[in-house]
């Protein structure tokens, strides 16, 4: 069976001329979970994944940082109408960096976890400045198909593992002590790879092609050959996302 290299978190639609990358994805055996943030980007994700179903897989989300700008009720209605076509719910979660109302974020996050449960979908979680709170909301929800994206709180790794959670790791882990510690503490069987593209790595905007840099980082931190990292993380993707 062909082993694919999975980028499980890319905002591909934000990359100029992204379609020109597709032949390279095929050549490098890269598949991508394309992550939305609100209705407009979710619709774009739905369309591009429909056009390239063997390479691109849709996740529909509602980013916590954007909530003050959105009609949340309409956003949730759209998700309920469209999640039957999704691979995951994401990007969702909590973001306490700014002044956004924390209680309303938690309420929306709980609703999204209930939607994920209804559609039997994994959840891709954003947890900036809210790691403990995200963990508690997940625990309270009872939903266990969860992926903590770009997670940088090593003291909570064990508790997330107890909830059957996974961690998606990007090349940026090489630049952050706390991010590296999360990778070191998490077993390889609970790690998947990401780029969060087009977020920069070493000052350069990324694309899913940089998922190979994530392989290198995980290989170094886990002391495992890159071939094993690709094989195990690929198997993890099929397991958590329920892909055939």
Quote the pLDDT of residue 2. 76
In the block, tokens 């392989």 appear at 215
pTM: 0.97
- What per-residue confidence (pLDDT) applies to 157? 98
Letter string b/e over residues 37-60, b meaning 16 or more CB atoms within 10 A of that residue's CB: bbbebbebbbebbeebeebbbbbb
Both structure tokens of 71: 């009609």
Tell me whether the omega of the peptide bond preceding residue 198 falls within 30 degrees of 0, making it cis: yes
Residue 70 confidence (pLDDT): 95
Amino acid 120: pLDDT = 98
Say if residues 184 and 228 touch (Cβ distance below 8 Å). Answer: no
Superfamily of structural domain 5-241 = Metal-dependent hydrolases (3.20.20.140)
Residue ranges in the chain assigned as alpha helix (H): 22-28, 39-51, 72-82, 102-119, 131-141, 157-162, 177-185, 211-222, 226-241
Domain ranges of the chain: 5-241
- Mean pLDDT by runs of 10 across the 244 residues of the chain is 91 98 98 98 98 98 94 98 98 87 94 98 97 97 97 98 98 97 98 98 96 98 98 98 91
């Amino acid at each position: 069976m062909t082993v694919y290299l999975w980028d499980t978190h890319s905002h591909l639609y934000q990359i100029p001329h992204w379609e020109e990358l597709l032949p390279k994805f095929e050549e490098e055996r890269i598949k991508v979970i394309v992550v939305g943030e609100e209705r407009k980007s979710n619709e774009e994700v739905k369309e591009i994944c429909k056009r390239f179903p063997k390479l691109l897989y849709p996740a529909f989300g509602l980013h916590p940082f954007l909530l003050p700008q959105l009609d949340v009720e309409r956003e949730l209605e759209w998700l309920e109408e469209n999640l039957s076509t999704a691979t995951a719910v994401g990007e969702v979660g909590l973001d306490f960096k700014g002044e956004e109302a924390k209680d309303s974020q938690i309420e929306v996050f709980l609703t999204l976890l209930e939607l994920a449960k209804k559609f039997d979908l994994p959840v891709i979680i954003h947890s900036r400045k809210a790691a403990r709170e995200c963990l508690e909301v997940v625990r309270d929800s009872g939903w266990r198909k969860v992926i903590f994206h770009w997670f940088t709180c090593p003291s909570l790794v064990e508790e997330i593992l107890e909830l059957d959670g996974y961690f998606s790791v990007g090349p940026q882990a090489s630049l952050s002590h706390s991010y590296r510690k999360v990778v070191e503490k998490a077993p390889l069987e609970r790690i998947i790879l990401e780029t969060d593209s087009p977020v920069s790595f070493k000052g350069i905007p990324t694309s899913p092609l940089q998922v190979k840099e994530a392989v290198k980082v995980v290989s170094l931190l886990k002391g495992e050959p890159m071939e094993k990292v690709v094989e195990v993380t690929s198997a993890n993707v099929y397991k958590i996302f329920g892909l055939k």
